Chain A
Amino acid sequence: MVSRRERVRNDAMTKHGTRGVLVFPVGDVYFGAQVEEVAGLIDADRLAPLPRQHGALAGVVAFRGAMVPVLDLCAVLDYEWPTPSTSRYAIVLARGAERFALLIPSLPRIVSARELRESDPSGEDEFGSLVEAVYQTGDKTVHCLTYWSIFESIVSPSGADRAGRGVANGGSNHG
């Protein structure tokens, strides 16, 4: 039996051949996350650093009473932050009970985007195998990456294994 929530979401996805995408720019590239994968959006001005943290792991942040690890997307993609004083936000991605956050430099927007294609295994895309899907909204192209795979490759092997399974099963888990 399909729940009411699933029905609303599927209606939204199939109504105009579009789906909701949370879009945020990093540098001159627009990235996005499907709204079904997003648990919430929080300020990330005060991140708690972790011991022995390094690389793209920026720390942890409190989200609805739980500690969520934060992954610096700019560090992952090797982009520079626009200015050090820029406000930072964190997009909390959820997959079942697991959550982690992507640290982004600006507020995202929710747009209705048309899906252009699925991931490109040939690696011709700029981001290669990191791209899960590409959407078009207006004159902008939005790249949805395999955030869970990226996170699991950085944070923990178990998490990376699960993320890898999620990507292999269709890109993302819906909830």
Chain B
Amino acid sequence: MVDPRRDRREPAAAPVAGPPEPSFAIPLFVIVLGAGLGAGLAGHFLPGKAGLAGAVIVALFGAVIAAIVGGRKPVLGAKPDRHGVEEELEQERHASASAVREVERTRRQIEAALQVIREGKDPLTEIAELRVGPLRELLEASKGGTAPVVSRLPLGEEELIGADAFPEPWPAGIDDPSPLDPRVRAEARRGLDQLIDGLSRMGAAVRRQASTHSAVGSGAAGRTPAQLVDAVVQTAADGIEDLAAGLMRANELAGVAERVTNKATLLALNAALEATRSGSEAFAAIAEETRRLAEFAREATDTISRLSSEIEYKVGETITAIHATSEDAKSAVATLAASPAGSTPVHAPAVSIAEVEALLERARNIRATLGSLGDAPSAPARAENKEDASAPAPEPAPAEEEEKAEANPQVILLEGLSPGSKLED
């Protein structure tokens, strides 16, 4: 196989200096002298412009002749210098050996850099030799995501295969990305999934808590907790006092009913008295019915009065309990306000939401980056990943992931080496 790199490197070798060609000097001198002489004669013998044109034509003809004679190869029968050829060959051998050593040293550096990258570390930090070598710019550019990198470098076969892929940029903000180890990547992906789930649940919980706080605080803008307690207690007390007023009105109506009942009883008694006095059976029947009616009204009135009295008593107890609770709540609020931890309880959820959302967004970014690193490295797949970076990619099986890692390791392309070429020692 012909190595095009060798052809490309030949001009860089030291030039081989040949002996001078003295046999061309005299003919060139004679030709130039003859052309000058011919031009002088033409200008002298020909009149006017014709003489000048003849001189120019003769001079140009001589120059063309001299140029043709000067461009010829030295094939004039001179024997090659053996000493010069051996020296030329020695210089070329020396240059070739230097180039091979340089390539071998670069290959060792690449191998060491790959090993460091597989361990999840920064090769520029770990290997001092790379900081001054030709790979430094490539590694820095690769770290920044600006340099093309070939997809595979099977160092065991000493062969570079086509640069059909570009590496993803190292995730920004990650100190130790370790994107190349499939097991580490799988573990990191699972951990990130769990972290995202936990943060999502935490965010939802904090959001609910914040909504509760905001619901409580929305109607109480500018009021202290003690004032809120007062307002709540006052509202309850007002409602119960309204209820008590209604009960008083009910008691008044019960009094009216009692008077009506008394009238009915009075009527029944009068009917009974009249029946007794007159001995009239009709009066006796009327007296009996009136008495029953009066008894029924009496029972109903007694029941109403008893229930009204019980409700009034309970309302009084409730009002007393509300006032006692109000005092307890005021004391508790005062104690809470005096403690350092209770200074800003309402604003804490908003801060927590922001922190949780920031953590969640960062975890999703890392997860998306890891997912795109572990997925197919082809250009269309990468384009899809870039379009939907936030959506978590489906997690492949570990075996499939390892196969992908074997098939698509990220290898840095050496400058000057074309894909598919083979290194030769």
List residues of A whose CB falls within 8 A of some B CB: 4-9, 12, 20, 22, 35-36, 38-43, 87, 89, 107-110
Contacts and interface: CB of A to CB of B under 8 A. Distances in A.
Contacts of B273: 22, 35, 38-41, 110
B326 interface: no
A9 B262 CA distance: 27
A7 B266 contact: no
A132 to B, nearest CB: 18
A131 to B, nearest CB: 22
Most chain A CB within 10 A, of B263, B276, B278, is at: B276
Given A22-B273, A35-B273, A40-B273, A107 B279 contact: no
A41 B277 contact: no
A107 B263 CA distance: 10
Contact of B277 (A7, A36, A107, A108): A36
B149 to A, nearest CB: 106
A5 B277 contact: yes
A108 B279 contact: no
Nearest to A3: B279
Contact of A5 (B259, B263, B270, B278): B278
Given A7-B279, A43-B262, A107-B262, 14 more contacts: A5-B278, A6-B279, A12-B276, A22-B269, A35-B272, A38-B273, A40-B270, A40-B273, A41-B270, A41-B273, A87-B259, A89-B266, A109-B269, A110-B276
A54 B192 CA distance: 104
A107 B278 contact: no
Nearest to A38: B273
Contacts of B178: none
Interface in B255-291: 259, 262-263, 265-266, 269-270, 272-274, 276-279
A107 B265 contact: yes
A154 B1 CA distance: 158
A109 B298 CA distance: 13
Nearest to A45: B259
A41 B265 CA distance: 10
20 contacts: A4-B279, A5-B277, A7-B279, A9-B276, A9-B279, A35-B276, A38-B277, A40-B270, A40-B273, A41-B266, A43-B262, A87-B262, A89-B266, A107-B262, A107-B265, A107-B269, A108-B269, A110-B269, A110-B272, A110-B276
Contacts of A109: 269
A38 B273 CA distance: 7
Contacts of A107: 262, 265-266, 269
A35 B277 contact: yes
Report, as a range, how many residues of chain B touch the other chain: 10 to 19
Given A41-B269, A107-B269, A110-B269, A20 B262 contact: no
Nearest to A10: B279
Nearest to A94: B277
Most chain B CB within 10 A, of A7, A9, A38, A89, is at: A38
Interface string B243-264: 0000000000000000100110
Contacts of B278: 5
5 shortest interchain CB distances as A-B pairs: A8-B279, A5-B279, A35-B276, A41-B269, A38-B273
A38 B270 CA distance: 9
Interface in B70-90: none
Interface in B116-141: none
B266 A43 contact: yes
B301 to A, nearest CB: 13
B273 to A, nearest CB: 5
A162 B263 CA distance: 33
A107 B259 CA distance: 11
Contacts of B276: 9, 12, 20, 35-36, 110
Nearest to A5: B279
A12 B273 CA distance: 13
Contacts of B269: 22, 41, 107-110
A129 to B, nearest CB: 27
Nearest to A175: B277
Nearest to A42: B266
B266 to A, nearest CB: 6
A5 B279 CA distance: 5
Contacts of B279: 4-9
A38 B269 CA distance: 11
Most chain A CB within 10 A, of B263, B265, B279, is at: B279
Contacts of A9: 276-277, 279
A5 B262 CA distance: 28
Contacts of B272: 35, 110
Contacts of B270: 40-41
A9 B273 CA distance: 11
Contacts of A5: 277-279
A20 B269 CA distance: 12
B42 to A, nearest CB: 164
A36 B274 CA distance: 9
A70 to B, nearest CB: 16
Contacts of B263: 43
A16 B222 CA distance: 84
A168 B332 CA distance: 82
Nearest to A174: B277
A87 to B, nearest CB: 6
A109 B269 CA distance: 7
Nearest to A8: B279
A87 B276 CA distance: 26
A87 B261 CA distance: 13
Nearest to B275: A8
